[in-house]
Amino acid sequence: MSRRRLVTVLLVLAVVALFAVPLLMDGGSSDFTGTDNQAVTAIQESDPGYEPWFTSVLPPLSPSVESGLFALQAALGGGVLGYVIGRLRGRRSSTPAPEPAEQP
């Protein structure tokens, strides 16, 4: 394995570990609420009289539909990102030694 590939693998492992460790350490005691929701709770605690004066244009979605839409967003982004990287890669391999610069 080349050094470059090793670094890539280590980087990926580090990212995975960074998010797997909190899940494993926790052992099911916390529910990993989103911080956005925690902020709403904090507002309602500090200012119980506050009424949201505008509601979302979309009716409240069931959690499963919502997570599907989040997955859709990630899929769209991932698709475009993959397409771009694929094109860049294809371009690089189809043009061997891109114009070796005019030598004097």
Partner 1 sequence: MHIAEGFLPPLHAVGWTVAAAPFVVHGARAVVKEVREHPENTLLLGAAGAFTFVLSAIKLPSVTGSSSHPTGTGAGAVLFRPPVMALLGTVVLLFQALLLAHGGLTTLGANAFSMAIVGPWAGYGAYRLTRSLGGGLLPGVFVAMLVADLATYVTTALQLALAFPDADSGFAGAAVKFLGVFAVTQIPLAVGEGLLGVLLFRVLTTNARPELERLGLLPPAPAQEEVR
For partner 1, the binding residues (CB under 8 A) are 3-4, 7-8, 11-12, 14-15, 18-19, 21-23, 25-26, 29-36, 38-40, 42-43, 46-47, 50, 52-58, 60-61, 66, 69-71, 73-74, 76-81, 83-85, 87-89, 91-92, 97-101
Whether 66 contacts 56, CB under 8 Å: no
Q: How far is the CB of 86 from partner 1 (least distance, A)?
A: 9
Residue 18, token pair as written in the block = 């960074």
What contacts 61, CB < 8 A, 6 or more positions away? 69
DSSP structural state of residue 50: -
Q: How far is the CB of 37 from partner 1 (least distance, A)?
A: 8
